[in-house]
Amino acid sequence: MANSFFKKIIAAIAASVVFVPVTGTLPKAVASPAAPDEYHDDWLHVNENAEIVDMYGNPVWLTGCNWFGYNVTTQCFDGVWSRNMHEMLNEMADHGFNLLRVPMSTQILLQWKNNEPDPYMVKINEWKNPELTVEGVQGGKPKYSFDIWNQAVAWCRENGIKIMMDIHCATTASNGHQMPLWYDSNYSTDDWLEALSWFAEYYKDDDTVIAIDLKNEPHGKNDGQGMAIWDDSTAINNWKYAAERGAAACLEQNPNLLIMVEGIEVYPKFEEGHDWNSPAVDYANYDNPPFHGAWWGGNFRGVRDYPIDLGEYQSQLVYSPHDYGPLVWEQEWFKKDFTRETLLEDYWYDTWAFLIEEKISPLLMGEWGGFLDEEHDSTGDNRKWMTLLRDYMIEKRIHHTFWCFNENSGDTGGLLTNDFQDWDTEKYEFVEVSLWQDDNGKYIGLDHKIPLGQSGNGISLSEYYSGSPSTNPTTPTVTTDPTTDDNDVVYGDANCDDEVNMADAVLIMQSLANPDKYTLTDEGSANADCSGDKDGITNKDALAIQKYKLGLLQALPE
């Protein structure tokens, strides 16, 4: 598709979308400055090496989580029915999550755009959240849902958290994600485009909102329920065509937004004579189905034949797969003693990993997660899959938003537990090693001026790249045995399996974060001290291993 076609899409959308002013909820407009200021200096772009970079060309790593609720009839983040929203956002930042993916619906965005009343009761605990009441007192009447949302945006800004809005479904509903397409019987494609355009325009002068995920998990497999396809047609259900139109709707209003495009579910086996009209089949009882299957929103095989074309805004495109483990569904690639190599061969590579392996595009894993406890995962296969994917994302610097912050996701659980009161420490420790940190263990935010969080455990993007001191006196170090013979040292092999890979980096970070649970042997400690400083084991050693695996170092020690 030529650039001129993309420009025509923008022109058509600009001509067709009518903006209705919202009264009573809009903050004071911020004038666009001649030069970047604190509201315009954090926009991100994609460079020629398929890296997401800041305005200075510095690579960044988006490592966040999902928090749903605005896509369902609570019309607010779930859990605010029992805890203070501000407190939970503070904790999210203090725990190192620099990006928040927020599922919404076309319905709620158009409701806000048109200043329509809330169709459902906003579900908050008014006693725990007096800031979210009209009276500003405990027990007061809840504010309008859009006012509550804008308060959340303000609190994210003060914490250095960036936001990615995700249109999870067309109609607000707890099961809305099960609908296969970006339109339904209530809201059309034009409604979806209108909602995207309005949201992008509304926040164009606030770089707290840095990205839009156009549609959560387009799917379907020709079974009469609706089917997302991917080709060069203008069919109403062609996700490639719709995604380019959706991107145009956003970028015409704010050309600095990152645009996340998810995949679909199935792609025809054209090489075997099949096409989009091939019949749906019972995959569990069919030896050779006509389609290459995938998780909903996870299939990017179509990019080989028909890549997304954003014209002059191509630098804003990020592909965003979703990936889950056997506890969500026992996919074919799990029905063996699977490894990273088998997952790549059987599913990952041709479905989405080729995009990062071949430097076609950066990837943001929009959803990944699951149960780790023995009660749910008696075989350990779900933990095994999560470990393999986590370590692969660390090694390849795949951006990601963990599913999820909520505890009330039935097939995965979440980071919080006990009615949102407490953190699941085991799961958090598992995820924490995949969050962006400097060599002193400080969490790195995506804001150039505002450090991540309130606890002092986070730093700003400028602080990270300026080389300003970022000491963390609480970070433990593990001293090595000075009597170890250097001839016996295999630098980087912290787990002593005769290989140097991301498992070693992860073990080092785990041993520092939780030394009571994760320990290194004397041999592993000697191997792990590979940053070249001979200062005992710190996060710098884990970073050195990552550099080595990325090809930035030819050998260890650094």
The set of catalytic residues is 217, 367
In angstroms, the CA 239 to CA 140 distance is: 44
In total, the chain counts a number of residues equal to 558
Count the Cβ atoms, other than its own, within 10 Å of residue 301: 22
In angstroms, the CA 391 to CA 121 distance is: 42
In angstroms, the CA 332 to CA 342 distance is: 11
CB 518 within 8 A of CB 507: yes
CB 168 within 8 A of CB 216: yes
In angstroms, the CA 219 to CA 182 distance is: 10
Selection from 374, 271, 343, 72 nearest residue 352 by Cα: 343
Selection from 331, 514, 353, 329 nearest residue 426 by Cα: 514
- The backbone region for 468, taken as left when phi is positive above 0, alpha when psi lies in -120 to 50, beta otherwise, is beta
> What b-and-e string marks burial along 315-347, b requiring 16 or more CB atoms within 10 Å of the CB?
bbbbbbbbbbbbbbeebebbeeebebeebbebb
Count the Cβ atoms, other than its own, within 10 Å of residue 39: 16
Half-sphere exposure of 549 (CA within 13 A, CB side): 23
In angstroms, the CA 365 to CA 375 distance is: 26
Interstrand relation of 458-459 and 443-444 (parallel, antiparallel or unpaired)? parallel
> What b-and-e string marks burial along 130-140, b requiring 16 or more CB atoms within 10 Å of the CB?
eebbeeeeeeb
Inter-axis angle of helices 3-16 and 189-202, nearest 10: 90
In angstroms, the CA 518 to CA 433 distance is: 13
